[in-house]
Structure 1
Amino acid sequence: MPPSTHQPDDGFPLNTTAVAIDKDKNSQHAVQWAIDHLVISNPLIILIHVRHKTNQHQGASDSENGEIDAQQLFVPYRGYCARKGVQLKEVVLDDTDTPKALVDYVHKNCINNFVVGASTRSAIARKFKGPDIPTSIIKTAPDFCSVYVISKGKIISARAALRPVANTAMPPRQPSPLGMQPNNQPDSNNEQENGAKGQPAREGWKTAATERMLNERNGAKPAKALTRERPKTSPANITLENIEAPNRGSRPSFSRDSVSDEHMLTAQIPFGSMDAIGQNLDFSSSSVGSMDSASAQSTRELEAEMKRLKLELKQTMDMYSSACKEAISAKNKARELSQWKQDEARKFEEVRLAEEAALAIAEMEKAKCKAAIEAAEAAQKLAEREAQRRKQAEMKARKETEEKKRALNALAQNDVRYRKYTIEEIEESTEMFSEKLKIGEGGYGPVYGGKLDHTAVAIKVLRPDAAQGRKQFQQEVEVLCCIRHPNMVLLLGACPEYGCLVYEYMHNGSLEDRLFRRGNTPPISWRRRFKIAAEIATALLFLHQAKPEPLVHRDLKPANILLDRNYVSKISDVGLARLVPPSVADQVTQYHLTSAAGTFCYIDPEYQQTGQLTTKSDIYSFGIMLLQIITAKPPMGLAHHVQRAIEKERFNEMLDPTISDCPLEEAIHFAELALKCAELRKRDRPDLGTVIVPELNRLRDLGRSSDKRDGRNQFPRSAASSSSLRAQSSNEDSGNSYTDE
């Protein structure tokens, strides 16, 4: 009859699995790992929760609350086990020592596998810094139970069982010396008592008589002989794969794939005694009674040999563990050395690349420095050549100036290009410079009206203290004697000794007087305004195309435009005119004067700022004058006001109100052309010959055709009306003043 094995008090079958749970996250990982790896042949799992008792006399309400909390703890696991098809057993223990309560339950119920989370620890233990639960369970768990410590779904520590649960059978109580009952059954009460106390149930059963009985019934060799025939395992042949739990069929073995080297080295895997599960034990009274002292001696020898083998195995495993640790340490050192070598190689490569980059940059800087030195030397040579050419040009200009002065002096002494009047003739013509014959006031002296050679003339007299006026006197004589144009004022003669110039008389005075209607004169029609603008542009183009050198007026304004009896315009006051070399007539940086000359609001801003004179300087003055012709307003800020009026489509407000029938569209074209001429930069101003003169001629022709249409639509005037108009015209002519500013 086989020996009786100890069954759990709750009637659990063998190969059972229990998991300690708490409120932490690792408890869920532990349950999941146990179901996936341990619950195989027996689909049953026991969940144990230890409810810590803080007071022996706690009230009923506290007990009910604790029970409710404990029940809530199992709720998430019920659904998970149901989905996995695993039966669930819920156990709640009340104790003050959590590890002891768990170990007692395992021992009492013969649990094969016990799983605990790495951080499973009761609140009281955490509060008072009690012992770590996994460590305490591994140390105190019975040797028939395998303990697994799980963290985040992985084993971090484990301890295999030393023997199967079948070896927990208790020796029966014997009234005889061998301790066997008459019915050959073990004392079940004694087994339960030992299980409740948590003591191992193997004490006292392996006696000499029992060993001898086993040998005699099975006819096997003595245990000593069997033990000696087993091959010893050398340290070189011991591997982690060779270390397996005794009950291989009840749980998976540990392998290098599931547990790392460090974890296996730190896991507590003790090696137990011999496994006697294969023995067919028969505890009959006859066999026990036949044991003698020889078998007892053999049993003692067997136990001594087993102890020696265990010691050797322990030493071997210690050596193997030390060798593994040394191997891992050497491997880590080798890895560190390899990493250090790679780092050093990378640093060396970085240093090499940095050195190459620095050398390349140095070469580039060297090349740049060399190029800069060469450029500086070339610039210095160019500057020297330029200075030499400038010096030669200055010497040449000085010689030409001296020659021109000598020529002017010679002409002044004996000039046949104009008629010379004596001072007596001038005084007689002006009635001794009478104030009643004074018709204007110039910048350097008054202007008188008179008659010479039975011709009406205008005589400009320089003041004796006007030194600059005498220079302009010579310049104006030189210019007017050399040029002739229908729209340039005609010089009839001069008295060089007293600085008197004789011009043809202009009956309608200056354009400025007529635009602002000084003396209550009638307004100028838009047709005449377009005609006057075209005539001034033609005369200005004549000056700019003068041979051998272009002539720049430098003081173009309405006060220097004179109108004859028929409103034919003529440019006067050319005393500030300057000759410009033809090669630089349209350039902006070649011909430089020490100081700018002209009238404020009409002078070219760029010429005023830099002193660089070109023919485009007259274009700016002409643009301002064109705006005054169409608007009859002062020149201050006139270009800005006209521009804004055009942009806001209110240009009709800027027109001269005395013009009633002016075509607005043509007037806007006229103003836009004037604004282009008045641009601040010279390069933005249009060309006089190709743009300005053709456009003004077109507007003049438009006015002429309009006059012809108006003349055809009017009735013929009577002789009386014609004579009255001629009389009125003669009266207006006698009342007009002549100004030359």
Structure 2
Amino acid sequence: MLNQRRNGEKKEELVAVAIDKDKGSQYALKWAVDHLLEKGQSVTLLHVKHRASSIPTPLGNNVALSDVNEDVAKAYKYQLDNQAKELFLPFRCFCTRKDIKCNEVIVEDTDIAKALCDYVKLNLVEILVVGAAPRSGFVRFKPTDIPSSISKAAPEFCSVYVIARGKISSVRSASCPLPNPPPRKQNQSSPISSQFNARLTQNSGSRAEKTPFAPRNLIEDVEIRSPFNRTQTQKIEAVGHHSQDPDYADPNLHGFSSSSQDSMSCSSSHTMDEMEAEMRRLKQELRQTMDLYSSACKEALCAKQKAMELHHWKIEEQQKLEDARVAEEAALAIAERERAKSKAAIEAAQAAQRIAELEAQKRIKAEMKAFKEAEEKKKVLDTLAQSDLRYRKYTIDEIEAATEYFVESRKIGEGGYGPVYKCYLDHTPVAIKVLRPDAAQGRSQFQQEVEVLSCIRHPNMVLLLGACPEYGCLVYEYMANGSLEDRLFLRGNSPVLPWQLRFRIAAEIGTALLFLHQTKPEPLVHRDLKPANILLDNNFVSKIGDVGLARLVPPSVADTVTQYRMTSTAGTFCYIDPEYQQTGMLGIKSDIYSLGIMLLQIITAKPPMGLTHHVERAIERGTFTDFLDPNVPDWPVEEALIFAKLALKCAELRRKDRPDLGKVVLPELNKLRALAEENISSSIFLGGSPRVSPFQSQPSLTSQETMTDPQLRQSGYESSRSRSSTSSFATERNQTDNYI
């Protein structure tokens, strides 16, 4: 199929393969190499680049190329060109391994099928191989079938093969032969060239005839044609001829005697001498004439050369005059422009002087106005000092300046709410969570999180430093060691948490959760308690974050019952209370179930799916030690078993079977925490560097010892800022932080 004979010659067919980022292009090239090409042959790799008309922005929208700066448009087009060139790299490597020569072609157009067909028609491609269109049942709208469009619109002399997963999906064979290009015969000259050669020959001959310098030996062969000479010559020839013929007898000589014949021969010899003398004289005159002619020709050539030199000198002088005229005009134009600039500068100076006078007047008025505003602002500040400020309000300009306009390098995570950026505000490392415009329930979660975190303070709750309500931005304290989930599953090559830290973290979570449940006047239910929402600071102190789903239980309900019905459930699968998920009945014990699942993960470091069932079976079979996290070598088995049984009680399916957090769960966790404090050394080595024991800097606090809401309102925002500024922050991020 690859080679065919035309006019007795073996010709290689032109094969092209359409490539793109999809998997079908790889199948198409592999099939073409296996079935159409041989080693050493060439194939054309054809890619259609979509013509760019807009540029995407960090906010998700697009800006037209005509609306942006020219340098930005050039940089974006250069980036697209580099991406298109990098697309050929795997295909080029494959062809190199198969010993196939490849020609890379990039076509820019908005219609892929039309661009491919135009290239085939223009370059007389005989075989075109394309990958089949992707098919997926999850696509809402039917995608454009480009291979079918190519098969319909391709020229009739081209065969189109559509390849799907290494096999032929469809074939459209060529219906007519490839059009032959016009013949070209190199050995046969064109009529124009033959006429040119004839003209060249004729011109050379004429120049040879007109040359004044004839060879000297040609003068000897010149025939002198005069009437006299011609008669004498004829006579001489006649006499010579007759004298040489012995049988010749002239009738006019029959009557002459021998004496008369002698006299005639003497006269003939005399005539011959005269003729020879005349010939020598004529030849001498001819030589002189030719010498004169040669001298005249030489003088004519010298005169012609002098005339040409004079003409060239005249042209040069005219050119110099023209250059001088142009230079004079340019100098006059420059002088005119300088005069215009000088005039404009004088006018600008006068205008600047007038503006300066106006600005001086405005400055005086502005100073007076600023003085009045300062007096009013002082009064306002005095009023605000006595008012209640629950959190610092940042402007969007401060947020954009801190995040460098939400640059990708400062992004440390992203979730359902939106992306999270690490930056510095007020010389303090912070984490900024930005509400995504299309986030479901994002605005309500933002309001709920601001309301909750701005009214409460607890050592084990993430500190809200401020917010930008207009654009949904939350500013938190920066947690250097990321989330508990990342540390349990050793993401980012993080060190293993010892069992002492795990017991302490469990007690801290229980303390913070009890604080939420005992909030006055309305209890708070977190509803989304999981390891991913437990953040660790530089000293591995745990803090509960993401309270956007928290709900306040009404006082009338909280005083009489422990739960009330919600219209829709919320939370994370495997951590949601089964009874709440089925009935919608929300209560403080809904968080106890999530706490039980998380406690099991703390000692096992395993996924939550079916975790309670596996732990129960391990305890029944006596293989509980095998189910503990194998990365911790020195587990206290008895205390870990007590920890696991307590977690299983918290994860009971029925809410009434779960223990009370303040009376049962937290006392047990505090006992295990005390055991951990007794068995921990003065420093914990994490990642090879010693750290001060976090047990010494964070005492055990109960909900009664924490600051209540009225106290927070009295202390205001400044006290929270002073506490946050004294906390230690890591100068570099060790792991990917999670604030989602």
Report if TM-score (shorter chain) is over 0.5.
no
TM-score by length of 2: 0.41
TM-score by length of 1: 0.41
Q: Which has the larger radius of gyration?
A: 1
